[in-house]
Structure 1
């Protein structure tokens, strides 16, 4: 950026960005991180910041702490942010990615991949802020508190809620990362232990596959309800009509399940050659689908013969 635009253009850009955010807000923290990451001067930063709160009271200590929270004075630090969108990723990100970023915005990593010695930071802030505050006292107090902090691993040993809350206030990104890593390990263990460990796996079920107990219970209860729909009078009426009418009816009523031509051919063949098979397909257009997981489960029941046989065995036990 500095190699392309003049110093005046860059100054105007940062004045506008910092002018729209208050010290300590998520927007301000993002601006600080990018300003430092992109190599701009710390001394000049002070001239872009309105260090007053809404009532005009000075917030110099809060401003200096925001800078030190980037750990720019650490040579070694983990700057990875699992919430950051990878701009080099060849695939487009979805609205869900942005929603997750918004929901967990407070857990974004504040650390900046840049090093400035603590003495250089002191001197730059003194030059930038002048006599407006005691920079040395603020920096010394921050470093003293930082030295008292110990790293917390929330899944090791007994840690109470108060300690976790304090750890989140110090570095929410690390606590969030530990939680995500724990969840990742949990899913990896499930994948190793069970063949079916997610709703999207149902479509691939083969006879003899192991199913996670929670999913197995959900599938059994859902299929029991699914199958009970054939007690409707309309089902009985359709069973008195011809196979052609039943095929036309099921094709016309389907609104939720994306079915390939070859799968429709199989469904029509089933209905024409085996009258009782209609009990498998009738509920798919009558049941109310309220979630993606529910849709995946019903799609698998309709299209996967081996899963359908498993479901029938469950209710016949």
Structure 2
């Protein structure tokens, strides 16, 4: 355990020392993966489906605010949708505008969580980020994660029906083309089930971790992992929605592991040394519960191994310097 704590302190110190460079590199690779996944599924436009353009946009994202990742992701999606249908691209653009409007009104932040959610959606494991989101910020993270799920659903819906859309492009009316993205969302029961599970999981995790009980974070992680699985299982069997149960369980396990790792790095406390104190002022009595953080000092210790050979060498050095043993 001490070795893990030392490793934790080294990682934290390294991050705090080089945080600017680490964050920039992280944003670059995060945006690069998102854009490559988007072009891999809906790369209909030769203009944006260009690796050099993708790398260039990712480099720009590395030195801008995290919201740039969301902006360029939407730009690439719309550019690809224009190659399918301008009407569909316009409607999706309106939906994206509404999402950004909500983002700036409520200021939920956590664009990193939204980008990670998109990646996990492409991996068919959208719930991996739910427990971590509940630990990080709570219900406010619901907004960007829901938008990420909707974002992926639109991409998947258009790519799944691309052959139909491209073959009937001249026979479908303009109004039908505008409504098509809304049909994708309204008729996608699986998406609504996932959103419901994510929302409830985030709220459960946040509620439990706020409790003043021992090991609240550990309990929150376990409860969130189990609740996400049970909610989707009920939705699958009661709502008669097809879901890959294997990926569901893998998603829950991966999410629990990610949350445990996050907890280890940001909330390592020793409940065995909990202290209680109280004090007062003119208006109130205060009862305080103090739980100490687990900290390990990373000190450099030099160890000298003493052997028979070392003793003989020291004796010879004494003799040569004129110092004789009595």
Q: Above 0.5 in TM-score?
A: no
Smaller-chain TM-score bracket: under 0.3
- Find the structure with the greater CA-based Rg: 1
Q: TM-score, normalised by structure 2?
A: 0.24
Q: TM-score, normalised by structure 1?
A: 0.24
For CA contacts below 8 A with separation 6 or more, give which structure has more relative contact order: 2
